Structure 1
């Protein structure tokens, strides 16, 4: 897997719309398409792609802390938004796209710095115009639940 270094590294809209959402996501996992730079910035990457299911794996670093020295809620939110929206993406047909309309995050406990977590997301519904999914962040080693989330995405048919 490689991260996009600049805008020219990303697929064009025409290239992305020429494949299904699942093929697009599988292409990132297989290293055929660049991973989005937000993953490099926040230290997470695509780990698994399935039909209506996505897993990202990562670990928060000191750069992701708030002024109190704990992991900023935005790290949890961005990781969950990425996974939940990409789970919907795996259900989007060729010629369509998507974007997040809204998402909700519930933080249950603080993630220790540098501790590896999985963010697992599954699609609950993918229709003509909307997709809904839920996700959770769990410790890789300990299996503890650190946060949950839900999202609604709009499916775009250009």
Structure 2
């Protein structure tokens, strides 16, 4: 029988620091949020103040013009920036996106593998500010970028 990762457990989230929680997720001990699977994105690295994702848009992520929907980029960037902030959240606290902004520089066509790297610019007691870029995994071209402010909450 294959063991499956633990699904979301709020008590565990609060008990661990954000970096510990994401490291456990990266190690397969905690299941990622279901939306990541729906959007074709995966956490591939965490370090203090940084989170890295790999993603590949699929045809079902398209919009009415047949290009990748802006919401796909938004989800990927929100995950990268939010998880970067999460790496600096202490045990007993969690974060939520307060606002984010994205800019799409070029179309990531279905099947194109990209990487999104989120980096913290400010990690405070009440807020965290981060930026992220989405670049082609093979060509290094910039596809999108963004910035966020996250609220840090306790309990």
Using the alignment, how far apart are the partners of 1:40 and 1:3 within structure 2?
15
5+ long unaligned stretches in structure 1: none
Using the alignment, how far apart are the partners of 1:52 and 1:26 within structure 2?
13
Per the alignment, residue 130 of structure 1 pairs with 127
Which of 93, 98, 103 is the equivalent residue of 2:100? 103
After the TM superposition, which parts of structure 1 deviate over 3 Å for at least 4 consecutive aligned residues?
A: none
Q: How far off its partner does 1:3 sit?
A: 8.7
Distance 1:3 1:138, change over 3 A: farther
So what's the TM-score if we normalise by structure 1? Answer: 0.93
The question of 1:86 aligning with 2:83 is answered yes
Using the alignment, how far apart are the partners of 2:134 and 2:35 within structure 1?
17
5+ long unaligned stretches in structure 2: none
Aligned residue-pair number: 153
Contact 1:3 1:37 in 2 (8 A): no
Which of 58, 61, 64 is the equivalent residue of 2:58? 61
Per the alignment, residue 12 of structure 2 pairs with 15
Using the alignment, how far apart are the partners of 2:58 and 2:9 within structure 1?
31
Using the alignment, how far apart are the partners of 2:110 and 2:72 within structure 1?
12
Cα RMSD of the aligned pairs, angstroms, is: 1.4
Deviations 1:44-91 (A, max 9, x none): 100111111000101000000001100000000010001100000000
Contact 1:83 1:135 in 2 (8 A): yes
Contact 1:3 1:35 in 2 (8 A): no
